[in-house]
Homo-oligomer: A and B are copies of this chain.
Amino acid sequence: MSRRTILAAAAASAASGAVAGSAKAAAPAAGRQAPGVYRYNVGSFEVTALTDGVARRPLDGSFVRNAPVEDVKEALEQAFLGTEKVPIPFTCVVVNTGGRLVLIDAGTGGFLAPTAGQLYENMAAAGVDPKAIDVVLISHFHPDHIAGLRLKDGTAAFPNAEVMVPEAEWAFWMDDGQMSRAHAALQPAFKMVRRVFEPMTKEVRKFERDAEPTSGITALPAPGHTPGHTAFRLSSDGADLIIWSDVTNHPALFVRNPGWHAVFDMDAELAEATRRRMLDLVAADRLPVAGYHFPFPAVGHIARRGTNYEFVPEMWNPAL
């Protein structure tokens, strides 16, 4: 072949999109993530973790209220997360207690970020029918935990489920006086609460601080993040799991630095006291923890590390 022939062939190849050095193109790229579904057992309960996706929040000085942004960047860098944006993952869990199919928190419903709202498709990938959900248990009324209760057309996403919520959350967020006095930044959250709950006001079941809303799942009051913010304890056959809710946001920041105040914590001092109490509990008792904002599959343990803590993700178990 002459040089000219070779160049012409190369140009033709480039124009046709063929890959140089390969006789044929590979199979097409998938171009999207695989379903985020992970199962584990707690005693005789079967837990299915389902990612709803992730929001990537540009990092600015307001994200951690009481730490210099450079310190936050350093913590992100140490976790190999980049320093421009804070990734905030969302993971819901479905608990099959044998008696009931319980969804804990309902995801973003696709209202918060284009990279979130995956709960429904991951539920389908897991073989869980939304109509089979018996109970939806809500930790608190921030939009990323409740928006998914209602589809974009307004219909109930889990039409046969009993929706159970902390009484103190209901009292705070459904109070029009609280809404009228709240900062402008909180108005969308108040509006989402009304969008979700007003069509089912009479059906919603409120549970008290230390209640057992459904057999084997006990409420653990964890106030500060919101007034009625609630964690849960699953107990079955001598095994336990703490459903962490938003006691911390991303562990690389707030488990490592329990004294940091995320912008989302409504009463930052109370949230910190709750966080330190809960971290101490789960570290001392070596209890497994499922965190709504932990990286998927969002379950692991908390270990003491110096005067602070570290999140140790559970090893993925390929064979139950």
Contacts and interface: CB of A to CB of B under 8 A. Distances in A.
A33 B300 CA distance: 17
A31 B46 contact: yes
B37 A34 contact: yes
B79 A31 contact: no
Interface stretch (A95-103, A145-153, A171-179, A271-279): A95-103
Contacts of A296: 316, 318
Across the A-B interface, give the 5 residue pairs with the lowest CB-CB distance, nearest first.
Answer: A22-B99, A19-B99, A115-B319, A34-B37, A296-B316
A301 interface: yes
A246 B99 CA distance: 45
Contacts of A319: 33, 53-54, 114-116, 118
A52 B78 CA distance: 30
A56 to B, nearest CB: 9
Interface in A305-320: 312-320
A46 B96 CA distance: 35
Contact of A316 (B24, B25, B89): B89
Contacts of A96: 26-27, 29-30
B27 A303 contact: no
Contacts of A98: 19, 25-26, 29
Interface string A17-60: 00111101111011111111111000000101001111000000
A87 interface: yes
Contacts of A312: 79-80
A126 interface: yes
6 contacts: A19-B97, A25-B98, A25-B99, A27-B132, A33-B320, A114-B319
A212 to B, nearest CB: 10
A127 B125 CA distance: 14
Contacts of A33: 38-39, 317-320
Interface string A239-282: 00000000000000000000000000000000000000000000
Nearest to A94: B27
A22 B214 CA distance: 9
Contacts of A32: 39, 320
A288 to B, nearest CB: 8
